[in-house]
């Protein structure tokens, strides 16, 4: 055991190391967060709480870069774990052999992990998260929902085709990030998909996408860093988007208008862009990664 007892982060945050893990203790909130792993053990055990100066502090979060560039680690949480949040890039550039999320987890931030995981499980008692066919981590947007309606993470980054369950309403930021082998996103006609968030498919190689009638929002940056997307099909019943001349996805800046005046996406193999006279807005990332575009 090691106690460095350094007050590095204000009057309430104390850096404290024990059993190879450094924690930040927040004396105001009476909680602890995993800040850094300081040993090379592949078996990582995160306890329910740690004791500092005779006071017990529940471990409630894992902070960014806490397990930066660690190889072949196995993450185990205490059976009565109090972990609630895992932050963006908590396991940045690491490789995880196995991890099991406890029932207490309520927030996985986008891009909490950016590689594949060999084995993952989620407590069946977790009300927020579920594992779908060992492929997707799903979340409920609210506990009142019957289904886990948000797709937040792909556990297998070598996936080639993704079949989205019809009850999914949101594809979260970075869900398919770094899926280099991914070519096709399969979405059914009866899909309830409403929103695709920013960077949802970044650094993937999807070349085709179907937009169902239910889709109402392509967030700014949804198509960021997608170089191969050239085949788009939009349901004729979609009231928000159209695909013009098999070249541009258009939307209305004014939903009360009949004019689709905003370009939100151009197929990525376009060489010359002819902008229709009725276009008022070229959206962010509309021509991102159009490497053949010269005019």
Q: What's the predicted TM-score (pTM) here? A: 0.88
Exposed / middle / buried, residue 133 (Cβ in 10 Å: 0-12, 13-18, 19+): exposed
What is the model's pLDDT at position 12? 53
Backbone conformation region of residue 185, classed left if phi is above 0, alpha if psi is from -120 to 50, else beta: beta
What is the model's pLDDT at position 11? 42
Pairing state between β 129-132 and 107-108: unpaired
Q: Pick the closest to residue 39 from 62, 12, 19, 13 (CA basis).
A: 19
Helix, coil or strand: residue 262: strand
Per residue of the chain (295 residues), give pLDDT as tens. 344 444 444 445 789 999 999 999 999 999 999 999 998 778 999 999 999 999 999 999 999 999 998 989 999 999 999 999 999 999 988 889 999 999 999 999 988 986 768 899 999 999 999 999 999 999 999 999 999 999 999 988 899 999 999 999 999 999 999 999 999 999 999 999 999 999 999 999 999 999 999 999 999 999 999 999 999 999 999 999 999 999 999 999 998 889 999 999 999 999 999 999 999 999 999 999 999 999 9
Q: Could you tell me the sign of the dihedral formed by the alpha carbons of 259, 262, 267, 269, in that order?
A: positive
What is the model's pLDDT at position 3? 42
Alpha helices in the chain (DSSP H): none
Kindly compute the dihedral angle of the four CA atoms of residues 83, 85, 88, 89, in this order, to the nearest 10 degrees: 0
Alpha helices in 51-157 (DSSP H): none
Backbone conformation region of residue 278, classed left if phi is above 0, alpha if psi is from -120 to 50, else beta: alpha
What is the model's pLDDT at position 263? 98
Residue appearing with tokens 């800046």: 253
What is the model's pLDDT at position 147? 96
C-alpha to C-alpha distances, 70 to 38, 97, 110, 129, 288, nearest whole angstrom: 10, 11, 20, 25, 33
């Amino acid at each position: 055991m090691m106690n460095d007892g350094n007050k590095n982060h204000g009057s309430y945050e104390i850096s404290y190391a024990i059993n190879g893990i450094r924690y930040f203790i927040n004396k105001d909130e009476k909680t602890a967060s995993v800040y850094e792993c300081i040993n090379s053990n592949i078996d990582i055990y995160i306890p329910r709480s740690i004791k500092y100066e005779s006071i017990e502090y529940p471990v409630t979060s894992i902070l960014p870069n806490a397990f930066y560039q660690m190889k072949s680690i196995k993450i185990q949480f205490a059976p009565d774990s109090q972990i609630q949040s895992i932050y963006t890039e908590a396991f940045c550039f690491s490789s995880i052999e196995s991890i099991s999320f406890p029932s207490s987890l309520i927030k996985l931030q986008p891009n909490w992990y950016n590689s594949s995981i060999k084995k993952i499980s989620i407590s069946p008692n977790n009300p927020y998260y579920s594992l779908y066919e060992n492929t997707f981590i799903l979340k409920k947007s609210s506990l009142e929902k019957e289904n886990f309606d948000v797709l937040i993470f792909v556990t297998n980054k070598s996936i080639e085709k993704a079949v989205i369950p019809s009850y999914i309403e949101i594809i979260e930021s970075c869900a398919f990030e770094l899926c280099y082998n991914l070519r096709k996103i399969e979405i059914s006609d009866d899909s309830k998909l409403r929103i695709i968030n920013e960077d949802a498919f970044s650094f993937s190689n999807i070349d085709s996408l179907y937009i169902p009638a239910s889709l109402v929002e392509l967030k700014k940056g949804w198509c960021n860093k997608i170089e191969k997307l050239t085949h788009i099909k939009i349901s004729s019943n979609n009231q928000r988007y159209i695909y013009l001349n098999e070249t541009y996805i258009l939307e209305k800046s004014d939903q009360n208008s009949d004019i689709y005046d905003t370009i939100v996406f151009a197929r990525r193999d376009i060489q010359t862009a002819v902008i229709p006279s009725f276009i008022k807005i070229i959206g962010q990332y509309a021509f991102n990664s159009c490497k053949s575009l010269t005019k």
